Amino acid sequence: MKENVVIIGGGVAGMEAARQLLFLGYNPIVVEQQDHLGGHVSQWNRLFPDMASAQDLVRHMGEEIVDANIFLETKVNFINRLREGYLVMLSNGVSVACRAILIASGFRLFDATRKEEYGYGVYDHVITNADLENWFNGNADSRIPAAPKSVGFVHCVGSRDLKAGNSQCSKVCCMTAVKQAIEMKEHFPDARIYCFYMDLRLFGKKYEDFYINAQQEHGVQFIRGRISEVGETLDGRLQVKAEDTLSGKPLRAQLDLLVLMAGMVCNPDAAELARMARLEVDSDGFLRSADNIAGIVGSNRPGIFYAGACTGTKTVPETLAEARSAALDIHRFIQGK
């Protein structure tokens, strides 16, 4: 009989860990709240740096784990400590005894309505990065004009923002903004595209190429200044205010569409899991790894492991690498090595 490993979260972290655990001879049990696997990635359109289809990735990963036990629309009700291992009670009535649990509960996208000064949900033409991906996926969005003349992207919405309770950099939004700016230019070649940033953090493989490409091929204008407030003109356009800090002057612009780069914040469900299993929460609100260099996938409890954005903001490849790493650590733990 194959040994059970409970994986909490069926996003790409949980899926990749399940794939590896199947390969290592275990019976992974994936618990997912939503009615589908793939988490945030399943809602995205194309992924940097190679513009690969997010849907294809999730579909392919799903095909790899058909032999796993997957419980959709299911939550963890409680986790009890046993003499050896844990008893995990699920909302569908199933209870699982296991020696190892993988938490892959991911992140939440920052709720952009909380930055009231940006007018999300108030003005007609303010959307988020996630809304734009949804539109790229072919879903209609009445907030996106048929032929916008100017489009603005606001970096760091709910990231690096102490007032929003999230002082951390969300890491992927700069790159996402550059990617989406290029994609918008491809949709609307005549539009002017502006990115309003505080610092551009394009750290990953090929990210800088995107930046150069956005400047050179697409004429995206990068303005170093954080938008302080958004208003609406009488004819329904958006009026934004920023300081053009490089010229040292206050700047105004009228836009037809404003895209807010909502950042990653810790998933409140992870805090609930932490309470159930007595896990430590880090100062940034994410789960605290055993060690932020050598033990990112480890927790403070034996047999409980982490993968992906439950411990901090991660890119997709980082998340997948952690999932593989966690699967191997779980294998070693169960083997007693």
Partner 1 sequence: MTDFGFTLSRSSALDLTKADTRLYERLCSLSPDARTCMGCGSCSATCTAGPYNGMSLRKVILGLQRGQDVRPMLKGCMLCGKCTMVCPRGINTRQLILNLCRIYD
**Site for partner 1, rule CB under 8 A:** 117, 156, 160-164, 198-199, 224-229, 241-245, 248, 250-251
The smaller minimum CB distance to partner 1, of residues 251 and 271, is found at 251
The smaller minimum CB distance to partner 1, of residues 220 and 240, is found at 240
Please count the residues of the chain. Answer: 337
Residue 225 CB, shortest distance to partner 1, in Å, is 4
- 252/240 Cα distance (integer angstroms): 6
Residue 260 CB, shortest distance to partner 1, in Å, is 14
Residue 128 CB, shortest distance to partner 1, in Å, is 18
Cα 92 to Cα 37, 73, 95, 246: the distances in Å are 17, 9, 9, 57
Pairing mode, if any, of strands 192-197 and 221-224? parallel
Residue 251 CB, shortest distance to partner 1, in Å, is 7
The smaller minimum CB distance to partner 1, of residues 189 and 248, is found at 248
Residue 77 CB, shortest distance to partner 1, in Å, is 38
Angle at 56 between CA 35 and CA 183, to 5 degrees: 105
The smaller minimum CB distance to partner 1, of residues 68 and 262, is found at 262
Residue 240 CB, shortest distance to partner 1, in Å, is 9
Residue 224 CB, shortest distance to partner 1, in Å, is 8
- 209/203 Cα distance (integer angstroms): 11
The smaller minimum CB distance to partner 1, of residues 192 and 226, is found at 226
The smaller minimum CB distance to partner 1, of residues 56 and 199, is found at 199
The smaller minimum CB distance to partner 1, of residues 173 and 277, is found at 173
Question: Would the CA dihedral through 206, 210, 215, 216 be positive or negative?
Answer: positive
Asked whether the bond before 317 is cis by omega within 30 degrees of 0, the reply is no
- 58/182 Cα distance (integer angstroms): 24
Residue 249 CB, shortest distance to partner 1, in Å, is 8
In 266-279, which positions are buried (b, 16+ CB within 10 angstroms) versus exposed (e)? bbebbbebbebbeb
42: region left, alpha or beta (phi > 0 left; psi from -120 to 50 alpha): alpha
Helix residue spans in 24-83 (DSSP H): 54-64
DSSP at 2: P
Angle of helix 207-216 relative to helix 173-187, nearest 10 degrees? Answer: 40
Residue 70: strand pairing partners? 30
The smaller minimum CB distance to partner 1, of residues 47 and 242, is found at 242
Count of helices and strands (H, E) across the chain? 7, 20
Residue 52: strand pairing partners? 47
Token reading at 168: 């951390």
Residue 234 CB, shortest distance to partner 1, in Å, is 21
The smaller minimum CB distance to partner 1, of residues 40 and 115, is found at 115
